Amino acid sequence: MRGKEKDVGMVSAGHRGLAGLLRRARAFEALDARLQPLLPENARGQIRVACVEGETLVLAATSPAWSSRARLEAPRLLEAAADLWPTELRSTRVIVTPLNLEPVTRNP
């Protein structure tokens, strides 16, 4: 039996590490939302901001084919991200992270 669900903000409020992780995730999500309109329509959602590691903008593509497209779009995305991100961004890296479209089910 599941307990009452709690708001993630309330749970993280008492945990400095979790609160920081949640802040970073929200910042990456906000950056991604600002960069998505810069992509061709068919690439939106197929290429996303994964994170920022130091001075590197990490882009996630849903397949090797989309990773090639991400590398082509990377200079423009880096330029835009550098104007939006609070620390200096100098490079990009592309990773492949396939979308998991099937919900995970567990056997009882």
Q: Is 5 contained in some domain? A: no
Query: What is the spatial distance between Cα 28 and Cα 51, in angstroms, rounded to a whole number?
Result: 6
Q: How many domains does the chain have?
A: 1
Give me the half-sphere count of Cα atoms (radius 13 Å) on the Cβ side of residue 67. 12
Question: What is the pTM assigned to this prediction?
Answer: 0.77
pLDDT in tens, the chain (108 residues): 566 665 655 555 565 677 778 888 899 999 999 999 999 999 999 999 999 999 999 999 999 999 999 999 999 999 999 999 999 999 999 999 987 655 555 555
Q: Is 15 contained in some domain? A: yes
Q: Is 106 contained in some domain? A: no
> Please, are residues 55 and 20 in contact by the beta-carbon 8 Å criterion?
no
CATH of residue 76's domain is 3.30.300.180
Q: Is 108 contained in some domain? A: no
Q: How many helices (H) and strands (E) does the chain have?
A: 3, 3
In degrees and rounded to multiples of 5, residue 42 shows phi and psi of: -70, -15
Q: What is the pLDDT of residue 98?
A: 82
Q: Which domain holds residue 77?
A: 11-96
